[in-house]
Structure 1
Amino acid sequence: MIRYALTCADGHRFESWFQSASAFDTLLKSGHVSCSLCGNRDVSKALMAPSVATDRPEGSGAPAPDEGSENAAAPAGRPL
């Protein structure tokens, strides 16, 4: 499954899930993808930031203790 951020020609932004990238392309070409707000079928993918896992605690904007220094030692049990 893949989630896309989508935009219609009227500027509405929405998200939808698809079985695969090729499934999205097939559905779009056949007219089966439409705006969830107005029904417009002129839909395109919008820029979407990926979700990336980190070792930082959630909500922390500060770098992890070993970041920011090239000479910092790796914590015990953590590979370089």
Structure 2
Amino acid sequence: MQEQLDQLRLSKPVQGEISDLVRALDAASTRADLEAEAALQIEYIHGLEASRKLRPADAEKLYIIFDDAVQARLQALSD
């Protein structure tokens, strides 16, 4: 996941916020926590896109990266 994030052209402040979201996702220990984190990630990315702090192509990539990470985390929690 980090490799995919590193390929995006994100400003330093946005990189920091994304790193925080990744840590929170990794720390989620229940399905409910994970779903709450996923909702926060979507809201955050949407906010960046709406405020034009993020290029549309990068926003789309972030949605995909985080969705894949959420699905992998859900799988890990169910194992």
TM-score, normalised to structure 2's length?
A: 0.28
For the pair shown, the structure with the greater C-alpha radius of gyration is 1
Q: Bigger relative contact order, structure 1 or 2, given CA contacts below 8 A and separation 6+?
A: 2
Question: Higher helix fraction: Structure 1 or Structure 2?
Answer: 2
TM-score, normalised to structure 1's length?
A: 0.28
